[in-house]
Each structure stands twice: as structure tokens, then as C-alpha cells.
Amino acid sequence: MFDNLTEKLGDTIKRLRGHGKITEANIKDALREVRLSLLEADVNYNVVKDFINAVKERALGQEVISSITPAQLIIKIFYDELVKLMGGEAAELELSGPPPAVIMLAGLQGSGKTTTAAKLARRLADKGRRPYLVPADVYRPAAIEQLKILGEQLGFPVFPSRTDQDPVDICLQARQEALLKGCDTLLLDTAGRLHVDQELMQELKNIKARVQPQHILLVVDSMTGQDAVNVAEAFNQDLDISGVILTKSDGDARGGAALSIKAVCGKPILFVGTGEKLGDLDVFHPDRMASRILGMGDILSLVEKAQEAYDQKKAEELQKKFRRNEFTIEDFREHLQQLRKLGPIGDLLEKIPGMSGMMRKTPGVEPEKELRRIEAIINSMTRQERLNPSLLNGSRRKRIAQGSGTTVQDVNQFIKQYLEMKKMMKKINRFGMKTLFRSLMGGQF
């Protein structure tokens, strides 16, 4: 998600680096390009207008000191405004109160509600909850069977719904059954339609009135862009949803829905689906997402995923190497191999600071193929070169290019981006993200 926007914003920031100071003229030119980039990303028009006005007001009202550049100032302002646009901070799913806590999943047909119900159940179980899955879509028999299969895979109980039952009765009976089974969280997988209609909304309103769910979460397909935003607005007006779960973000290169939903309907994005596996549901962190949009990675989410998939010893080793700035190209190769276990390669690479710059934006070329190109470059180095990149003089780089089937320019680009990645990770891990941006603004460490 955000691949296209990240590339366009990166180009805009690079052009600003050629200016010595902030002026109304160069800000106007830069923001014109940003406006087009956001619209191409399918961000809501009014959201784009408000975002551009906020950035312009801050940029022109900011006193620019001699130790920073226009590009550094714009990065800081972009980051702050993107975080604000997406909700400020990660929203919590509060489940206090007498059990069972009822979570109702709503959305259009094809948005991924049933799979998301299973993913959310797994995530809640990891936090100590005892979920009970309830298929309440009696119009699509496959939905009942699908949730039953997913529940069996995860080892969670599933209410034995039938297609001849009323959805409201299913939910009420399931709540009583959950208490008997000792389950403290009820997940209702409701029916969808191909579009928002009165019949669908009335059924969902009936479930809400009778069952009184603690949360109503709207599941929307991020690949539908502004349609997803319109759906969120319609559901929120009729049901007063608690928040949104974005699905299929791994297939969405634009990200317009993620940037628009909070501003348009006022409800936060709680989770984002990042792949097809049942563990591919992440908490939506606006600050981390803004960092990724600006090409700065998301090292916190990467480490959290590593802790889930690695044993504790390997996770601690990874953190220590980041903190001590001892992350060599040898370590880089080893952990790229480990990353394959953690989820979709494209999504994971966005979380490594500077990594997006290593990946050539070749139309039609998958991230996995680009990763193999980088691995070929690394594998063509000697172990000494991987441990000490300062050894890589011109003749060595030529040998590596020949051995990897790439060009010297490719090798030079990889080394440059690797060193920039190390520098950025050192600042993030030593001082934290806020201090990193203070440094971009010219503050002293």
C-alpha cells in the first residue's frame, strides 16, 4: 500500500533539496505535485484540499533556520499532517465489561468479512481472549461453511448456524451458548450485499437493537478506493460504527481509502489486513504508516513481527544489532531470508528504513524478483566484504556486478541505500522517531 504515493512524494522532496530556502513559489510548485499525487492515490478531494492547505500554512509560517533545508522542513510537516489525517494514534478496541463482549462485523459482500472474523479471533486469542465465531450470513451457505472451516483450523468454537434461521435469533442464541462454553468474546459475521441497500441496513439495525454489540466494525476492501470511503460513510450514518478494518492492503498500491476514511466519517481505522494468512491482520498505527509513506520504514512493526515468528533469542539478537548499529550486510542477507517467513515481501520491505529505495520500481516486476536481485548482489560478495563494506572499491564492485548479473550502477545503488538505511536505523533506535525528526529540523542531539 502507498507504493505510488511514496515514490511521488520522494521525487517532490528530492526536487526541494535543490533550493536554499523555503519560498512561496517553491512551496506552491511542490504542493501542486503533492496534490496531484494524492488525487492519483484516490484520496478524497476535500481531504486533499484540507491537507494541502494545512501543509502550506505551516510551511510558510515556519521560521526556517540555517541548519535545515526546505526538504527537511517539508518532511517534518508532511509527517505531522499525515499522522493527524489518519487519526493521530492507534485506536484501542476496548472490551471491558461483563462477558461475552460482542463484536459485530459488517460490510459489503466480497470485502473479506468472514476471513477477517477468523483473523480477528486469532488476534484476540493471542491477547488472552476466548473467542466464539458466529456465522450470521444465512443467504450465502458457503459463508457458514467457510467460517466453520476457519474455526477448526484455529481451534475456536463456531456456532452451528443454519440457513433457515433468522440472523437475529442466531446471534441471540450464540450469545447464550458462548456463556455456556466459557467464551468471553462473540464475533458476529453478518451478511453483506453487492451494494448498500435498505434491506441490508434494516437487518443490521435489527441485530444491533436486539443483541446490542459493544463494537460494530466495518470491513472494507481498500482496493475499492473512494468507494470504500463512501461505504464507510453510509454504514456509519445508519449504524454508528466503532471503527474500520481495511482488507486487501497488500494488493492496493494507492492507499486512498486509508488516508480518507478518518477525515470523512470520523471513525478510526483499527486494523489492516496485509495478506491471506490468518495471522496477517495488523493494528493500524497512523505514525508508523506516515513513516512508511515517506519512505522511512516502520522498524517497530518489523521487530514486532520478528518477535512473533522468531524464537526469543533471535528476536533479541535482531534488536541488539539495530541498537548497536552493527547490522552488517551479512546480517542483512540472513534477515532477508528470515523475512520470507513473516508475510508478503512487498509489505515487509516497506518497514525497513531505506529499503524502498533499494527496490527498483520496474513495471510488472514483483518485489520478490527485486529481492532476488539484491540477494544476488550480496551473494556475489565475499564474507569479508559483507562484514566490512568499506572494502568495496571500484574493481570489487565490478566483480560483484559480473557475478550477480547486474550492473556496477546497481551495486553502487545497493551500497548507498544500505549505508543510508544503517544511518536512519541508528537514529531511530538511539533517539526514537520524534528525536529523528527534531534532527531533521536542525535540533541538536
pLDDT at 130: 96
Q: Pairing mode, if any, of strands 281-283 and 269-273?
A: antiparallel
Give residue-wise pLDDT tens across range 25-34: 777 888 888 8
Rounded CA gap, 376 and 304, in Å?
A: 28
pLDDT at 435: 47
Which pLDDT does position 437 carry in this prediction?
46
DSSP string, 87-149: TSSPPP----SSSPEEEEEE--TTS-HHHHHHHHHHHHHHTT--EEEEEE-TT-HHHHHHHHH
What integer pLDDT is reported at residue 440 of this predicted model?
42
Residue-range domains of the chain with CATH: 3-85 (1.20.120.140), 101-292 (3.40.50.300), 297-426 (1.10.260.30)
Q: Please, what is the angle between helix 70-85 and helix 286-293, to 10°?
A: 140
Residue 157: the pLDDT is 95
pLDDT in tens, 124-168: 999 999 999 999 999 888 999 999 999 999 999 999 999 999 999
How much is the pLDDT for 441?
41
* pLDDT score of 7: 77
Going residue by residue through the chain, which has 445 residues, state the pLDDT in tens, using 9 for 90 and above.
566 777 777 777 777 766 666 677 777 888 888 888 888 888 888 999 999 999 888 877 665 544 556 667 777 888 888 889 898 888 888 898 888 999 999 999 889 999 999 999 999 999 999 999 999 999 888 999 999 999 999 999 999 999 999 999 999 999 999 999 999 999 999 998 888 888 889 999 999 999 999 999 999 988 887 888 889 999 999 999 999 999 987 766 567 788 888 888 899 999 999 888 898 898 988 888 887 777 665 455 555 555 555 555 665 666 676 666 677 888 777 767 666 666 555 555 555 555 555 554 544 446 677 778 888 999 999 999 998 988 999 999 999 999 999 999 999 989 988 888 777 766 655 545 444 444 444 443 3
Q: Is the pTM of this model over 0.75?
A: no
pLDDT number for residue 338:
67
Q: What is the pLDDT of residue 442?
A: 41
